[in-house]
Structure 1
Amino acid sequence: MASSSQGPVSTTASTCAAETARGRHTFVVAGYNLHRGLGAGKFIRSATFYVGGHGWSVRCYPDGHTSKESNQDFVCAYLELMAGTGAAEVRAVSDLRLVDQLTGESKVLFHPAAPRAFSGESPVWSARWFIRRTELEASTYLREDRIVIECNVTVIVTKQEAEPQTPCEIIPEEGADVAFKVQEETFRAHRVVLAARSPVFKAELCGPLRERNDGGVIPVEDVHPGAFRALLHFIYTDSLPAMDDLDGDENREIVKHLLVAADRYAMERMKLVCASILSRRLDVESVSTTLALADRYSCGKLKDACIQYIISSNSMDEVVASPGYEELKRACPVATVELWEKASKSRKIVHAEQLERVLDQTD
């Protein structure tokens, strides 16, 4: 029997949730008959597209994946996780389709029942018997010597969520020796902890600027109080706070504030985490402003994800018509030119008249 003198039991809880990021890429194989005879096991590859913060491509084997007789009569298609995506393993499920070029409808020819683990050692998953060559060549899937492969990818992201804690539980008041004033809120923290995690805090609190910042409350300008609170949360816990009470737009906006705060205090890991979150939450209305943010704060992977989202989507006109695109043109002209240069070079077919119309609006 437990003694009554024992203290209370500290109880915590956590949740393991699965989120998904979905994307679609259209790969046009032009000059189909020219690719015939490439050889068994040899493939052509689509441009890299991004889903869930990871780069993907579609492989097409015009003469089959292997030299086995059972495979030579088939055109094969594979989904590939591109190298250098920054993750040891990515779980995803995909379907591969052929588009009927008379009706515009797509037919699912490969759809695995369960998610597949992609990694550096096992980066591809296949449709070895995608379609028999004789069937393809007798159908309207092949027209004007080209075929159109459509790939839908769903990336599964496992997310560990700790039970929400109050700021005083995360940042103990005992021993706090520095205070910050952010708008109308005051935050107390520990000088040694901040200096260990941020080179900017180290310079301000332990370097040449220490005398100026000793003995009083340090004012912080141009940072949202919620973002500063989350910055301290990340410094002490190496994770962002739960934001389940926010809707999608509010969540995205606070993450943008967090990225700006992370850049200001040279918190590179926090900056990468914020960029990864934003890359999974792109949509037509937000992608232009997110691209401008990525360009302004040198977030290369987020910038690439935004550009690939615009190139890969079927909503280019809607993106150009959004208010955020006007701001992108004004504030980031170099990024805007880079966007359309990559669009014109992409293997994804962009109708010439559409691209010309977009470029006219960019000038």
Structure 2
Amino acid sequence: MASSSANDAVPIFIREVSVRSFTFEIYMKPSSSIRSSPIFNFGGHDWRLRWNISSSKEVLLWLLLIPEDHEVKATVQFTMLDKYGELSSQYKRVSRTFPSKAYSDKMGMLLGHMSLENHVTNDCFNVHCTIFIDGKTTKSELYQNSNSLVKQISNLFLSQDTSDITFEVDGETFPAHRAVLAARSPVFKAELFGQMVEANTDCIKLEGMMSEIFKELLCYIYTDTTQDSGTKFNQHLLVAADRYALDELRKICEDRLCRDMTLDTVLSSLGLADQHNCSILLDYSLNFAATPENLLQLTLRQEYLDLMKSSPSVFAKLSKRANASLSFQNIVYNKKTVG
């Protein structure tokens, strides 16, 4: 972990960057005023982190959107890192809309109020900031421009007149267009224009997929938008996206599953991430599950035992990440001692 001395320390710098997050190292320089980070770009938007430390060593954190023409919907989570650089159980997660510059006097701010106790090393503390930007386009936005290419293609989704292929899924039928499917998915291209048997039929019956999931898959293919209908739905949609090599849709599902992760969903997300090579979801799930307090609760669940049997490789990764945390070892030791 990088550290700073009292003589040459800068107030803040970005210590580590991943696909969906930043780790900030903040120097505890005494100050009664609110301090700001340099502007940084994430998800195509400019942001600034602000903080203030109280006399009781509690930190207030704000994430501000630099004013722009459009509002931004995002879910942001602040997680404190402990003295050993591990994610602690102390975090704040908030979902909100950051207003456009028309409302810059009321810029969206995310407030995290957390204690610095046991989190300071060499007069510095580290905060892990994860940002999930909701890029979903609403249907009203989609149809504002009547001459747009997107609308014209999406109209095909609503019309059956020119369809040249039909899918039967879970008892329902869905007309579609070979050229559109092939242009969006290499798997559909191979199936519909290659040497596979599907290329010579006008109706394809799909197994192992729910009709509402396939309908949403088609909606994304034709409109490049998708609805957020909850964790279970997003898990099934991720599987479908992976099946047809729709990488952007799969990333959208990964983001949603990370954003909405709880103790009730993390184990199923771990198994799903491993089966479908979702590196972002796997890493986030491992960090979430390996947090000492979370892991102690998860070990009491039947799903945890099922994971041990069905996905030994995932269980090995989880064990390795948890065992690397000295704080976890201390909690287990203290629990045994008290018992």
TM-score > 0.5, shorter chain as reference:
yes
Deviations 1:64-90 (A, max 9, x none): 5xxxxxx7x99x99889999x7x2336
Q: Is the 8 A contact 2:168 2:204 kept in 1?
A: yes
In 2: Cα distance, 1:77 partner to 1:326 partner: 47
C-alpha distance after superposition, 1:137-182 (max 9, x if no partner): xxx96899888958586857455422599x9873321210001111
Aligned letter for 2:45?
A: E
Post-superposition Cα deviations, 1:84-109, rounded to whole Å, max 9, x if no partner, equal: x7x233658676768x9xxxxx7434
8 Å Cα contact 2:47-2:65 kept in structure 1 = yes
Question: Is residue 235 of structure 1 aligned with residue 191 of structure 2?
Answer: no
Deviation readout 1:282-341 (Å, 9 max, x if unpaired):
001111110110111000011111112223474221222233322322222112211232
Is 1:41 matched with 2:9? yes
In structure 2, how many angstroms separate the alpha carbons of the residues matched to 1:319 and 1:79?
37
2:40 aligned with 1:88: no
User: Which one of the candidate residues 115, 140, 158 is aligned to 2:64?
Assistant: 115
Instruction: Provide the C-alpha distance between the structure 2 equivalents of 1:352 and 1:157, rounded to a whole number of angstroms.
Output: 35
Cα distance 1:45–1:326, how it changes in 2: closer, same or farther (>3 A)? farther
CA distance in 2, matches of 1:318, 1:82: 37
Mapped contact 2:21–2:131 kept (Cα < 8 A): no
Counterpart of 2:323 in structure 1 is 344
CA distance in 2, matches of 1:199, 1:283: 34
Corresponding residue of 2:207: 221
Choose from 262, 279, 283 the match for 1:300.
279
The answer to whether the 8 Å contact 1:96/1:151 transfers is no
| Distance (whole Å) between structure 1 residues aligned to residue 126 and residue 120 of structure 2 | 18
Q: Is the 8 A contact 2:15 2:25 kept in 1?
A: no
Q: Does 1:59 align with 2:20?
A: no
Q: CA, structure 1 residues 77+338, in 2 after alignment: closer, same or farther (shift >3 Å)?
A: farther
User: Which structure's relative contact order is higher, taking Cα pairs within 8 Å and 6+ residues apart?
Assistant: 1
- Choose which of 187, 206, 216 in structure 1 pairs with 2:193: 206
User: Contact (CA 8 Å) 2:167, 2:174: kept in 1 or not?
Assistant: yes
Query: Residue 343 of structure 1: CA displacement?
Result: 3.0
In structure 2, the CA distance between the partners of 1:141 and 1:255, relative to structure 1 (3 Å rule), is: closer
Q: For 2:119 and 2:199, how far apart are their aligned partners in 1?
A: 71
For the aligned residue pairs, the C-alpha RMSD in angstroms reads 4.5
Deviation readout 1:230-278 (Å, 9 max, x if unpaired): 11101101111364xxxxxxx1111111111111111111111111111
* 2:319 partner letter: W
Is the CA contact 1:97–1:110 (under 8 Å) kept in the aligned structure 2?
A: yes
Structure index of larger Rg: 1
Percent identity among equivalent residues?
A: 24
The answer as to 2:241 corresponding to 1:262 is yes
Task: Report the 3-state secondary structure (helix = DSSP H, G, I; strand = E; otherwise coil) of the residue aligned with 1:301.
Answer: helix
Distance 2:257 2:283 in 1: 12
TM-score, normalised relative to structure 1: 0.60
SS at match of 2:204: strand
- TM-score, scaled relative to structure 2: 0.64
- Equivalent residue of 1:352, what SS? helix
1:252 aligns with 2:231: yes
Residues 95 and 111 in structure 1, CA contact (< 8 A), matched pair in contact too: yes
Structure 2 gaps of 5+ residues are 68-115, 144-153
The DSSP-based 3-state class of the residue aligned with 1:315 is: helix
Alpha carbons of structure 1 residues 299 and 79: separation in structure 2 relative to 1, 3 Å: farther
- Cα separation, 2, equivalents of 1:277 and 1:186: 28
What CA distance in whole angstroms lies between the structure 1 residues aligned with 2:231 and 2:328? 32
Residues 279 and 302 in structure 1, CA contact (< 8 A), matched pair in contact too? yes
- Report the AA paired with residue 328 of structure 1: L
Partners in 1 of 2:239 and 2:200 — Cα distance? 26
- In structure 1, runs of 5+ residues without a counterpart are 1-26, 30-34, 65-70, 101-105, 119-139, 244-250, 359-363
Partners of 2:278 and 2:17 in 1: how far apart?
A: 17
Q: 2:303 aligns with which of 284, 304, 324?
A: 324
Contact kept, 8 Å, 1:91 with 1:115, in 2: the verdict is yes
Q: Answer yes or no: is the 8 Å Cα contact 1:58–1:80 preserved in 2.
A: no
- CA distance 1:206–1:353, change in 2 (3 Å): same
Matched ranges for 1:121-160 at <5 A = 149=125, 151=127, 155=131, 157-158=133-134, 159-160=136-137
